[in-house]
């Protein structure tokens, strides 16, 4: 069984260069966290180091 770190590394490798097509072509970004968290818009913006006005 692969560790969380191995899975995250594999996901990052497989999505390298992959873009989310929209007005601005943004790359995919893999996020990970330990334990249980509430996946709110504010949490995701903070985890991705985005502005409060960024859309989620």
**For 13-50, what is each residue's pLDDT tens digit?**
999 999 888 888 888 888 787 888 898 999 889 888 88
Asked whether residue 52 is domain-assigned, the answer is no
**What is the model's pTM?**
0.56
Asked whether residue 23 is domain-assigned, the answer is yes
Query: What is the predicted pLDDT for the residue at 11?
Result: 92
What is the distance in angstroms between the CA of the first residue and the CA of the last residue of the chain? 32
Asked whether residue 55 is domain-assigned, the answer is no
Asked whether residue 8 is domain-assigned, the answer is yes
Asked whether residue 54 is domain-assigned, the answer is no
Asked whether residue 32 is domain-assigned, the answer is yes
Closest CA to 11 of 37, 34, 31: 31
Indicate the number of domains in the chain.
Answer: 1
Rounded to an integer, what distance in angstroms lies between the CA atom of residue 46 and that of residue 56? 11
Structural domain including 17 reads 4-47
Asked whether residue 35 is domain-assigned, the answer is yes
């Amino acid at each position: 069984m692969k560790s969380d770190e191995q899975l995250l590394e594999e996901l990052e490798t497989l999505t390298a260069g992959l873009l989310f097509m929209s007005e601005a072509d943004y790359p995919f970004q893999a996020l990970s966290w330990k334990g249980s968290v509430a996946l709110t818009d504010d949490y995701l913006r903070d985890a991705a180091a985005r502005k409060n006005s960024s859309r989620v």
